[in-house]
Amino acid sequence: MRISHKHKFIFYCNPKTGSDSFREMLNAYSDIKVNNNSKIQGEKYPFYTHISPIETKEIFKNLGWNYEDYYKVVCTRNPYNKLVSLYEMVYKRYPNFLRPDFKKWVIKTKNNKTGGGGKDHQRWRKYGTYALEYFIKDEKGNFLVDKVIRLEDFSQEVPKLFKHLKLPEIRGIVKKNVGKKRKSTQEYYDSELVSIIKKRYSWELKNFCYDLF
């Protein structure tokens, strides 16, 4: 996550949506740069890299900071691509015979609560399978962010964001940690799994015009 008190922004690191690249582009303008996934970072600034907006809002309240004074940004990505990217990251060091089948792995994950599982320091894994609406809304369905940027639109939207925040003009889009797939995204899915994805991630598929093809 990145926080700027001067420029009044909060950037949330939604896993596998280009957040590493975004964090680097915002580094020079951030007062708080969180790069640790451990949940407890200290009493004064108890943030962690992939912290959720609902947790952050509560921390701001405890610190006496006005959450609504900040422009809150998060990124999203086609769920079909995002899940493949997360799966390949989780199991990249596993030999093929120890890798779970992609379909079975997806079915076992959740789009909220425990999400993709993992240990306390693996919040990227937990939140990596969250449906966007569960990551950016509170329990009453209220939005806790002001701007959602599609990874696929970085080249157009990042310069617009910098202009909105009154930051210096950005000269180029940073691309970090671009993962590799062993096959095309479409090859990971069969019709049954596509139906599951359409149900679990219906909100973002509809609102951000995503599809498998």
Mean pLDDT across the chain: 92
pLDDT band at 121 (very low <50, low <70, confident <90, very high): confident
Q: Give the pair of three-digit tokens for residue 69.
A: 């004074």
User: Which pLDDT value is given to residue 171?
Assistant: 86
Instruction: Break the chain into its structural domains and give their ranges.
Output: 2-207
pLDDT in tens, 37-93: 665 556 666 898 999 999 999 999 999 999 999 999 999 999 999 999 999 999 988
Terminal CA-CA length for the chain: 31
Beta strands 32-33; 9-12: pairing state: unpaired
Query: Whole-angstrom Cα distance, residue 110 to residue 127?
Result: 10
Q: Which residue has the tokens 């062993």?
A: 182
User: Which pLDDT value is given to residue 192?
Assistant: 98
Query: Whole-angstrom Cα distance, residue 21 to residue 210?
Result: 22
Query: Whole-angstrom Cα distance, residue 153 to residue 85?
Result: 18
Strand ranges, E, within 60-117: 71-76
Query: Which pTM value belongs to this model?
Result: 0.93
Please determine, for residue 209, whether its predicted confidence score (pLDDT) is greater than 60: yes
Query: Whole-angstrom Cα distance, residue 182 to residue 198?
Result: 23
- Name the DSSP letter for residue 137: B
**Average pLDDT for residues 169-197, to the nearest whole number?**
88
User: Which pLDDT value is given to residue 44?
Assistant: 64
Radius of gyration (Cα) for the chain, nearest Å?
A: 17
Question: How many residues belong to the chain?
Answer: 213
Lowest mean pLDDT among 84-93, 148-157, 176-185: 176-185
Q: Give the pair of three-digit tokens for residue 1.
A: 């996550």
Other CB atoms closer than 10 Å to residue 99's CB: what's the count?
Answer: 14
- Name the DSSP letter for residue 167: P
**Average pLDDT for residues 181-201, to the nearest whole number?**
95
∠ CA 64-4-143 to the nearest 5 degrees?
Answer: 70
Q: Enumerate residues 6+ apart whose C-beta is below 8 A from 167.
A: 7, 29
Lowest mean pLDDT among 24-28, 92-96, 128-132: 92-96
